[in-house]
Amino acid sequence: MPSIKQFQVTFDCAEPTRVARFWCEVLGYVVPAPQGFATWDDFNRSLPAEQQDAWCACVDPSGVGPRMYFQRVPEGKVAKNRVHLDVRVGTGLVGDERLAALEAECVRLVALGAVRVRVLLADEDNESCITMQDIEGNEFCLD
């Protein structure tokens, strides 16, 4: 059986374009213009009103990371995510140096609208991480 080489991460949300642009800022991703359009906004405006901002996608410009897809759903988020992203900003760092890198990234993301939930300090098994929420309340970790 062949192995799967690609996948995308899908978010249910109220405002797909807004959430996609938040994650572009977090990850350094871009919202590509669909074929035949100069920008995503041009494409979105070309749709009938009821289809505008129904979905948005962003991609890693280097082609390495997975595609992120955001789709509008009518219901709001009501429970903790069963799956979340770990944004790897402290890879290879330990102790105070790791915590400083996590804190610096946390400050940047809070300025973009993220919410800091809590710091989990290092113990004998795990290094420190910061639990956060994106602009629609989806949990993720700075790791």
93-97, 119-123, 132-136, range with greatest mean pLDDT: 132-136
pTM above 0.75, yes or no: yes
Q: What is the largest CA-CA distance in the chain?
A: 55
User: Of the candidates 63, 53, 61, which has an alpha carbon nearest to the alpha carbon of residue 14?
Assistant: 53
Place of tokens 């070309």: 46
Read off the tokens for 29: 């991703």
Is residue 107 scored above 90 in pLDDT?
yes
pLDDT average, residue stretch 50-68: 95
Residue 59 is predicted with a pLDDT of 97
Average pLDDT over residues 30-40: 94
| Mean pLDDT over each residue of the chain, to the nearest integer | 93
